[in-house]
Amino acid sequence: MADGTQTSQIRVDVTTGDDGVTAIEWEADDAPEPGRQRADAMLLALWDPEHRNALRIDLWTREMSVDDMNDFVYQTLLSLADTYRSATKNDGLMADIKIFAREFAEKAAAAERRSHGGR
């Protein structure tokens, strides 16, 4: 574009069946690897400034294990903390989010062990 701006496309294809999401595939112009990529879960959040609320799409395939979901949520919380810090420069709240993320990971791992008969 003449003013130095650039547009990139992100495409997400979701396949569903009678028992929910069966496949998620995505590709993006600026992706680290070219071509379609497979995913077992996705979170998409968009901010609506007019209504001041978040619009979300949260999807996961039936193959997504609880252990993988725990890791996915943990890593998302860590990334969210970094994003929040980058946008607000608030180191204290970033640290609080990361502490919560670690506590979440520990509790989720303990719950997963209990569900498999461990302690």
Neighbours of 89 (CB within 10 A): 8
Which of 22, 46, 63 delimits the end of a domain? 63
E strand spans, the chain = 10-17, 20-28, 37-39, 41-48, 53-60
Question: pLDDT, tens digit, for every residue of 1-37?
Answer: 568 899 999 999 999 999 999 999 999 998 888 899 9
Question: pLDDT, tens digit, for every residue of 45-87?
Answer: 999 999 999 999 999 999 999 999 999 999 999 999 999 999 9
Number of domains present in the structure of the chain: 2
43 φ/ψ angles, rounded to the nearest 5 degrees? -125, 130
- Residue 48 domain boundaries: 1-63
pTM: 0.86
Helix axes 91-115 and 66-88, enclosed angle (nearest 10): 180
Residue 106 and residue 54 share a domain: no
Q: Minimal CA–CA distance to 13: which of 47, 70, 59?
A: 59
